[in-house]
Amino acid sequence: MAHDGNLDVLVVCGSLRKRSYNAALARMLPKLAPPAMKLRTAPPFDQIPHYNHDIQDSTGFPPEVTTFAEAIRSADGVIIVSPEYNWSIPGALKNAIDWVSRMKDQPFKDKPVALQSCAGGVLGGARMQYHLRQSLISVDAILFGRPEILVTFSAKKFDEKTLELTDQPTIDIVTQQLAAFEKFMRRVNGQ
């Protein structure tokens, strides 16, 4: 955790693909964040095995899980930027949450978390966000409310070649969310 007035925020991207719109939005966040918000990218979680209690019992938590959990634990807050898959949370992201949920020193406990999603369609990943909210409440995270970031028709909001976010209303609302999330984190963390 930062002790210099800055806030250390972990950014988790739920898409694993190279030309992901969600990853493109995640890359844009440092430009839009208030000065005291320092963003860092979460360690990879795509190599974490499918959750199986037998693995946990026999060899303990895989190193990728421990690293991912420690990154969450040490942050002042977390921003999850994720697509919606079949009306819900992408499997790799849900698997990572399932693994860390089994840890005694629960990484998400009392952690401020904000959500963002980019989707191809009209709902902007809303159904994924509702499911993610439920899962994160089950691990005692503290969910940020509004403004919500639901980027609809993503292909029209990012530059086709550079994948830079070009849609001004989206830039504005993301900027507003980050400013509000800073205040929320300070309130939750008692700063």
Ligand X SMILES: Cc1cc2nc3c(=O)[nH]c(=O)nc-3n(C[C@H](O)[C@H](O)[C@H](O)COP(=O)(O)O)c2cc1C
The least CB distance from residue 122 to ligand X, in Å, is 8
CA 89 to CA 85: how far, in whole Å?
6
**8 close to 40: Cβ distance less than 8 angstroms:** yes
Q: Is 75 left (phi over 0), alpha (psi -120 to 50) or beta?
A: beta
Name the residue with tokens 């830079």: 164
**Minimum CB distance to ligand X smaller for 22 or for 177:** 22
CA 107 to CA 68: how far, in whole Å?
9
The least CB distance from residue 141 to ligand X, in Å, is 22
The least CB distance from residue 44 to ligand X, in Å, is 15
**118 close to 125: Cβ distance less than 8 angstroms:** yes
Which residues here bind ligand X, judged by CB under 6 A?
Answer: 15, 17, 20-22, 83-87, 118-121, 123, 125, 154
The least CB distance from residue 59 to ligand X, in Å, is 30
CA 77 to CA 38: how far, in whole Å?
10
